[in-house]
Structure 1
Amino acid sequence: MRLADLVDQMELPETRVAEGAWDAARRRTRRRRTAVAGAATVVMLVAAMSALSLRGGAGSTPPTGPAHTPTSSPPDDAPRTDAAGMTGIDHAHTQRLLTRAWWAGLDTVPRLDPGATTELAEDPMTEGVFATVDPDNEAVPIVLGADGQWRRIDLPGLVPIDDGGGYTSPVIRPTAFSPDGTRLALPQPDSLVVVDLTDGSRRTYPMPAAFLAYAVWVDDTHVWVAAETDTAGTVVDLDSGHQSPSSLGPSTAYVDGDTLSWGRNGGSLDWGARPDVPTLGNNDGGLFPYPPLVRAGVVVGDMAVNRRMVGTEDPSLGNGVVAVDATTGDVLAFLPTGQGVDLEVLLGWQGDLPVLGLRDDTGKYPSTVIAAWDYRTGHLEPLAQTDSHAIAWRREVN
């Protein structure tokens, strides 16, 4: 079941999109002269991506039909913008819009904050669709089942994730759910803990002194783990307990028997079983490296853009979410978030639209907003919001 469908069935306030926010962005976008020198490639890339991401508006509807594989060319009916115009996009205004107008319109978006919970061991579920942690205890996961009920997982000995230097973080990471939504992978200082949501049991895989920070599902029976500073990791066989060294890092996605590494180095989509694909996009904008989202010929990453527009006093654009063509590496769209969003997380998919977690950095709107991004139109569809910054969304396979 898709989480968006479950939210629609729950007794929550009706979702409302921030009416007119993206239309306002297009109306108020203004052109200005820009001197292009030195960093011309970066300038043109950022401008082109921002122009693509501003197409469409709040009135558009995400497609509900079969998955669409975008190409590097815009559709025939899409607005055309020449290169000179694209370098004149007012990026600073676009970022202010995402911070102010868009956040202000989210008052009635349904909340996914746990109310009454039962103990998982006493009330198991068929599958989980969303997970967070107890606000008073970062070592206690709370999971929303496909039946719309919340379960609490209070396991003796479970502790927050430790980086080995005294800093701790919540035990739920965005990659916690198994592909079928029946288990959670939880990093621990000296082990990997896997919780079975269908019966409340757990299995512990000892890894002494590893201080695990990452747990990424390779498939239904294997989990890749590593410490925070590791550039390579270990694959744990959940059936046998066997551990195998892996040269892959935390920015690797596991896709239909293949791997795609795209992270701190940027520059290319590094496939395991096919030629690498050069791209101007990157996936190195997050606080922690995480796997890109991959589906239907599209790769989505958390991109860093560290240079300002040449010839202007605009600050660096900072981070954003980027969509690229998996075959050509062409940039399809860019959602600028660098000066307005304190947290951005690549969560999963709703159909063929990537699902993001966004959090305002001003403190005025403290919720994390979960939204589907239609990179073809620039439209953000808020699905839910939660007070927590530690969240996992079932990375849907259908």
Structure 2
Amino acid sequence: MQPAVDADFARYVRARQHRLLRAAHLVCGDERLAQDALESALATVAARWPRVREYPDTVVRQHVYREALAAAKQAGTESLAAELATELATEPASESVRGSVDGSVGGLAALTPRQRAVVVLRHFEERSESDAAEVLGESQATVAGEEQKALATLGMGAEAVGGFLDRASQRLVEVDLADRAWALALDRRARRRRRALSGIGSVAAAAVVVAVALGVERGGSSPSPGPTPSTSVTAPVNRLPDGTMYAAMPLEGDEDQLPDYDAGLPSAIDPEGRAVELSSLAGPPPDVVAVYLRRAGTHYRAVLVPKGRTQVVVDGLDLLPTRDAGRNDGVPLGPKAISADGRWVVFAQPRAVVRLDLRTGSFERYAVPAEDLAVAEWTDGQTVRARTADRSFTLDLGSSSPRAVAAAPAAERLDPRGLPVTDLVGETVSAGPWSASGAVLDQVVTSPVIVRGNGPIYQGLVAVSGAGEPGRVLLAPESPDGQTGRFVSCCTALAWADPSTLLFRSAGYDGSWVLAWNVRTGRVYDVTRLDEGRGVDYPQALALAVGERG
């Protein structure tokens, strides 16, 4: 985002902010909360402005009404009735009209927040049923039903409601929110970046760092306090038409509204942030929790991400892209590239596997008789498996002279039979009874559960249990504009933070994230942001040194 408010954004907001403020107030019934809700919603839109500026109206209203509905729960019905009664107190009217108005005020307070939102959209903003359904994420039938119930409670005809709502909110004073919303969006982004560094000196943060280090030392699984108390914007586990258990991610670009999950990673990994070269240091930093790749001309460079310290570029190691039998380029880093003890990282190269020592910074190359190696991964504390599309080799790196030995092709540990999965994406990671992978989904099965206003659902993740529990999928809805949204093969499994929480990557037009999915509850959490989107060169591949990556 640019530091100064975007001129188009400012013009758009100033043309609509008063009407939107009145709408938010009618939904939540508290002037201060309505103003806060509108400012927060506009800040969310400001962060996505380059992507939504062509058709912003629906997106803006979706966020405004979401925030207003949340504020309504905080305000309560007594506040709503009191504020509306105050608004109408100075209205000159006959006794019969006054009685009707007083009854309507009580009736409006008696509506559910969602019924109020429907009435405001339909009769204050004069939106069609289909528009209201798209804003609220409901079907048209649901909107029509809620509207009928609301009108019956109000005891007013449809033709009278609009005038009543207009009178009930006309005394609100316009507040200029354009600059404030833009500044809030910038502040949110800055706070996300600062959060990784805040509290490093505190006892609690020190305890987390020690826990991560101990977890890596004894096998890579770092204790985690789990999610912070908050309300997830995702739905709990539900069922698809074929009976498959599912949950859904938020729309791409809304990840920062998810509650946080502490997996031992910084809250942001900035591919354009400050980094020092390994050759300038005495050795690699301690507490490396992740490794990713940066482009360096025709090669890649590995970047080490330590907990609470500056990133380190391994400048002495140039890595070539992998290349399959069809001569298609790939990345030489996979999710299981870091050993369980957190000491070693392996990279697939044409006819070789390279092992980097994270304690000393030295690296060694081991010959493998395959030009088209795609993946190098650890199978135990000292054995590495290198794979092509149809061949597999093992290397015992604990021996005095490791040699590549041909092995049977590695069996896929995840069997998606019986689930609406047409293909798997990326590597399978396992922990305890659970295995998970990115997935391409059967749209015939997923289409009936598309929320109004979302685009198609054709990809996501799949998790399968070897202990007899039913498998389940995580849906990745697409953006409704057909232009933005998640990339093809957006979602890849990285590691298991605990026996039921999968860490995975989601990549799209608004940025790349590490998120967490609890396969039992269906909840999705924000772990770390990898880039800001909008053309930033996001990390080309990522491996974690936290959690289990079997």
Bin of the TM-score, shorter chain as denominator length: 0.5 to 0.7
Given the alignment, which residue of 466, 477, 484 partners 1:326?
466
Taking the TM superposition and a 5 Å limit, the aligned residue runs for 1:245-324 are 245-249=406-410, 251=412, 261-262=413-414, 266-267=416-417, 280=419, 284-286=423-425, 288=426, 290-295=427-432, 297-309=433-445, 317-324=457-464
Name the residue aligned to 1:112: 269
What do residues 21-54 of structure 1 show as CA deviations (whole Å, max 9, x unaligned)? 626x58xx9x9xxxxxxxxxx8413xx412xx3x
Q: Which AA in structure 2 matches 1:337? A: A
DSSP-derived class of the 1:308 partner = helix
3-state SS of paired residue (1:291): strand
Indicate how the Cα distance of structure 1 residues 370 and 20 shifts in structure 2: closer, same or farther if over 3 A, else same.
Answer: same
Deviation at 1:167, TM superposition (A): 2.9
CA shift at 1:188, angstroms? 0.5
CA distance in 2, matches of 1:311, 1:159: 41
Aligned to 1:235: 394
Matched AA of 2:268 = R
How big is the shift at 1:341? 3.0
User: Structure 1 residue 222: deviation in Å?
Assistant: 0.8
Q: Give 2:65's aligned residue.
A: none
Q: What is the match of residue 340 of structure 2?
A: 179
Corresponding letter in the other structure for 1:359: A
SS in 2 for 1:198: coil
Bigger Rg over Cα = 2
Aligned residue number for residue 282 of structure 2: 122
Residue 374 of structure 1 aligns with which residue?
A: 518
Provide closer, same or farther for how the CA distance between residues 173 and 212 of structure 1 changes in structure 2, counting only shifts above 3 A: same
Where does residue 341 of structure 1 map in the other structure? 486
Aligned residues: 300
Instruction: Quote the residue 1:386 is aligned against.
Output: 530
Q: Give the number of the structure with larger relative contact order, counting CA–CA contacts within 8 Å between residues 6 or more apart.
A: 1
Q: Deviations over 1:199-244 (max 9, x none)?
A: 11111111244221111111121111112x22x3011111331222
Counterpart of 2:91?
none
Partners of 1:293 and 1:300 within 8 A in 2: yes
Aligned pair in 2 of structure 1 residues 283, 324: CA closer, same or farther (>3 Å)?
farther
Please report how far the alpha carbon of residue 134 of structure 1 lies from its aligned counterpart in structure 2 after TM superposition. 2.2
Match of 1:222 among 379, 383, 406: 383
Instruction: Compute the displacement of 1:321 (Å).
Output: 1.8
Structure-to-structure mapping, 1:1-20, within 5 angstroms: 10-11=197-198
After superposition, give the CA deviation of every residue in 1:235-267 in whole Å (9 maximum; x if it has no partner). Answer: 11113312222223374xxxxxxxxx226xx43
Query: Counterpart in 1 of 2:323?
Result: 162
Aligned counterparts of 1:152 and 1:283: Cα–Cα separation in 2: 38
Distance change >3 Å, CA 205–CA 390, structure 1 → 2: same
The two structures have a TM-score, normalised by structure 2, of 0.47
Which structure carries more helix by proportion? 2
Matched residue, 1:103? 255
1:187, 1:215 within 8 Å by CA — same for their partners in 2? yes
**Secondary structure of 1:212's aligned partner:** coil
Please tell me whether the aligned partners of residues 294 and 300 of structure 1 are also in contact (alpha carbons under 8 angstroms). no
Moved more, 122-131 or 107-116: 107-116
CA distance in 1, matches of 2:334, 2:447: 40
Which whole-Å CA distance do the structure 1 matches of 2:410 and 2:319 have between them? 25
Q: Deviation string for 1:149-175 (max 9, x for gaps)?
A: 422112355322222544323332222
Q: Distance in 1 between matches of 2:394 and 2:422?
A: 22
Query: Post-superposition shift, 1:307?
Result: 4.3
Q: TM-score, normalised by structure 1?
A: 0.64
Evaluate the alpha carbon distance shift between residue 111 and residue 338 of structure 1 in structure 2; reply closer, same or farther with a 3 A threshold: same
Q: Paired residue for 2:503?
A: 355
Q: Tell me by how many angstroms 1:12 deviates.
A: 9.4
| Equivalent-residue separation in structure 2 for 1:312 and 1:194 (angstroms) | 47
- Tell me which protein shows more strand as a share of its residues: 1
Task: Answer whether contact 2:420 2:445 (CA < 8 A) is retained.
Answer: no
* Cα deviation code 1:57-86 (max 9, x no counterpart): xxxxxxxxxxxxxxxxxxxxxxxxxxxxxx
The amino acid across from 1:358 in the alignment is S
Please report how far the alpha carbon of residue 116 of structure 1 lies from its aligned counterpart in structure 2 after TM superposition: 2.5
User: Which secondary structure does the structure 2 equivalent of 1:110 belong to?
Assistant: coil
Q: In 2, Cα distance between the equivalents of 1:173 and 1:12?
A: 32
Quote the Cα distance in structure 1 between the aligned partners of 2:543 and 2:422: 19
Distance in 2, matches of 1:310 and 1:377, equals 19
Match of 2:242 in 1: 44
Provide the aligned C-alpha RMSD in A. Answer: 3.9
Q: 2:339 and 2:378 mapped to 1: Cα distance? A: 6
Q: In structure 2, do the counterparts of structure 1 residues 309 and 124 end up closer, same or farther at CA, with 3 Å as the change threshold?
A: closer
User: SS at the partner of 1:285?
Assistant: strand
**What is residue 23 of structure 2 aligned with on the other side?**
none
